[in-house]
Amino acid sequence: MDQIYVLHENAAWVEPLRAAFARLGLPHEEWFLDQGTVPFDRAPPEGVFYNRMSASSHTRGHRYAPELTQGVLNWLEAHGRRVVNSSRALYLEVSKLAQYAALSRAGVPVPRTVAAIGRDNVLAAAKDFGPGPYILKPNRGGKGQGVRLYQSVEAIAGYLDGPQAVEEAPIDGLWLVQEYLRAPQPFITRCEFVGGQFLYAVRVDTSDGFELCPADVCAIGDELCPAEAPNSNKFTVLPDFRHPILDSYGRFLRDNGIEIAGIEFISTVAGEVYTYDVNTNTNYNARAEAEAGVALTGMAAVAQFLGDELAKTRAAAPAVAAE
């Protein structure tokens, strides 16, 4: 029987989606893509395939999960299967540099960024920016891990020469040196899209740092934001949010095969808007949703969208078989 297939490497993050599937009575199966094979000599099953692979998989010991998933998506797409968040979406998920290139092509402003491999090249890039502060981040990150603010080139050098830089070194070797964008208040805005349509925005308090995962499963110790922690109100849902950037985001998503995503931007003291992250493995904070009284929660919207896509594939199946 055709069904919904969820491709992922973090079972805890899928729990709210499982519950949403159960409420809607939707058949589904999970493909945990840490290790495995890609049977190119056989056709994949029928159904809808939802790619939830994360750029941060290596932080959970799943080093090659994105590479395996890329192969699986290539296989599915070669056979014309319905894939939500395509192989192109995964390519962007695991490379912020690729995100910035795609956003720039869509006319979306991004922070000034220089990519570098090697300590001396990172420092040279920072010097070229002039006086700090600077942001240093890995090209493949996830959850905001490894994103650091430095006031001087010397401070960056001290970090790169220490043991923590070895532990946090980018999995692809690529560091990004970025201009620090000063906001009038310590907040960023995250815009959630499901089915390519804007769902709601979230104001995120950044005063505690850059690890900004909104997932409810933070409570199990996999993230920074446990539900009962003092900073648990750092996420505020803005259900009536409106902004001109939303139209540009919609075009960007369509152009890149992305249907479910969270896109983050910062507004500077000068009133300029810069987009710095696209997360195609988006999570939602149920507590913030409940406090805002949103009519349709994030995971409910995802489950409903996937259910609608499954119905479409089933409706199209007889016509395909008759050809």
Tens digit of each residue's pLDDT (9 = 90 or more) over 206-240: 887 665 555 543 433 333 333 333 345 789 999 89
Q: Using the predicted structure, report yes or no on whether residue 289 has a pLDDT greater than 60.
A: yes
Is CATH 3.30.1490.20 the right assignment for the domain spanning 113-179? yes
Q: Give the span between the Cα atoms of 105 and 97, in whole angstroms.
A: 13
3-state secondary structure of 165: helix
Tens digit of each residue's pLDDT (9 = 90 or more) over 51-87: 999 999 998 999 999 999 999 999 999 999 999 999 9
Tens digit of each residue's pLDDT (9 = 90 or more) over 92-137: 999 999 999 999 999 999 999 999 999 999 999 999 999 989 999 9
**What CATH number should be reported for the domain whose range is 183-300?**
3.30.470.20
Q: Give the span between the Cα atoms of 278 and 249, in whole angstroms.
A: 10
Q: What is the mean pLDDT of residues 39-48?
A: 96
User: Which DSSP helix (H) or strand (E) runs through 18?
Assistant: helix 11-24
The domain defined by 3-93 folds into Rossmann fold (3.40.50)
Q: Using the predicted structure, report yes or no on whether residue 13 has a pLDDT greater than 50.
A: yes
The domain locations on the chain are: 3-93, 113-179, 183-300
3-state secondary structure of 13: helix
Q: Give the span between the Cα atoms of 322 and 317, in whole angstroms.
A: 9
Q: Give the span between the Cα atoms of 113 and 166, in whole angstroms.
A: 22
Burial readout 3-24 (b: 16 or more C-beta within 10 A, e: otherwise): ebbbbbbbebbbebbeebbeee
Rounded to two decimals, the pTM is: 0.90
Q: What is the largest CA-CA distance in the chain?
A: 69
